[in-house]
Structure 1
């Protein structure tokens, strides 16, 4: 669970405000992490007094850089084909809020780990890249975290994140598939909605 939290923390540090021109993915990752950390430092006292501020921060800064339609489609996998348009929309909405809650919780536990950015491999010209980073752990091996991005229009969008080789999409797909098989998609959406309503 701690490693999953680190995944969400680093994903949060990745995000930044959209630029007028297309910002190269590697540059986007590096430049915006400092922006987010500076904001956290500047608002640390206010966040301590009102932790729910983190939900708004995540929703405003992080999530616009994720393609939730694509992520939700892959997470549902084969069950999406049988889902109605309304079920698909409801699931995407609640899954998005689930990540808001998870990111905010992880951010509240952030302890200023250093982030190393590894050289970008070929792929940018094709419109699909993997940006590789490592989260330094005192007295332990660094944790590799990779971001899969593709060029959507004039902006790079995240469609998956992996930590130690474990995909965010694959992780949720496995968990949700089991629940859908046992209880159905509507039951999953209802459970997510109930949890999300606690912080809306």
Structure 2
């Protein structure tokens, strides 16, 4: 499951703008699979390569500006200063990178099949339905949620559902019990402990 989550997250980056969200993800999938194939052996032995690949390919299409606001409650997020909000976002991004980089070494001929795209009535939210197919023909359902927002020039991924589990929503539920009154350093520490169990 860790590998599946990692690769779906990697699909958020590495491509130029595209007006069709399904096309955007398909292009990313092709690039990521090629990258994994080219570095398969090196990924298993070079501990610095996987985090570098994740950082380079994860961030460009993720709604990083709204990440902290989505993860913390509406009551908590406004109580943080601008610098604290940035530190929280940076810490969570680092946590994601470090958590999922290990899964790169598990790549073994996986393929992506994109099925269809549904849009909201406003046309500003899209759900891209896909499958990850393993070398053994195991199929895993993946649904990407993308949004068009004023502060971005194109679609940004805001969540991913893997076999019915929404990844960012899962993190958000774990962080609901964080008590900011304990101090901001304690909040950052809890990011690491409360997200350890996420698939």
Same fold (TM over 0.5): yes
Write out aligned runs for 1:21-100 (5 A): 22-78=18-74, 79-100=76-97
TM-score, length-normalised on structure 1?
A: 0.80
Instruction: Single out whichever of 108-117 and 168-177 deviates more from structure 2.
Output: 108-117
**Does 2:168 match 1:169?**
yes
Separation of aligned partners in 1, 2:44 and 2:114: 29
The answer as to whether partners of 2:114 and 2:131 remain within 8 angstroms in 1 is yes
Measured against aligned partners, the alpha-carbon deviations of 1:19-62 in whole angstroms (never above 9, x if no partner) come to 4xx34110011122111111222223332331321111111122
User: How many residues in Structure 1 have an aligned counterpart in Structure 2?
Assistant: 189
Separation of aligned partners in 2, 1:43 and 1:5: 15
Measured against aligned partners, the alpha-carbon deviations of 1:121-142 in whole angstroms (never above 9, x if no partner) come to 23497221011112235475x3
The answer as to whether partners of 2:26 and 2:114 remain within 8 angstroms in 1 is yes
**Which structure features the higher share of helix residues?**
1
The answer as to whether partners of 1:7 and 1:145 remain within 8 angstroms in 2 is no
The structure-2 alpha-carbon separation of the partners of 1:183 and 1:116, relative to structure 1 and needing over 3 Å to count, comes to farther
What is the Cα deviation at residue 76 of structure 1?
0.7
Q: Which consecutive aligned stretches of 4+ in structure 1 deviate over 6 angstroms post-superposition?
A: none
Q: In structure 1, list runs of 5 or more residues that go unmatched.
A: 195-200
Q: In structure 2, list runs of 5 or more residues that go unmatched.
A: 194-199
TM-score, length-normalised on structure 2?
A: 0.81
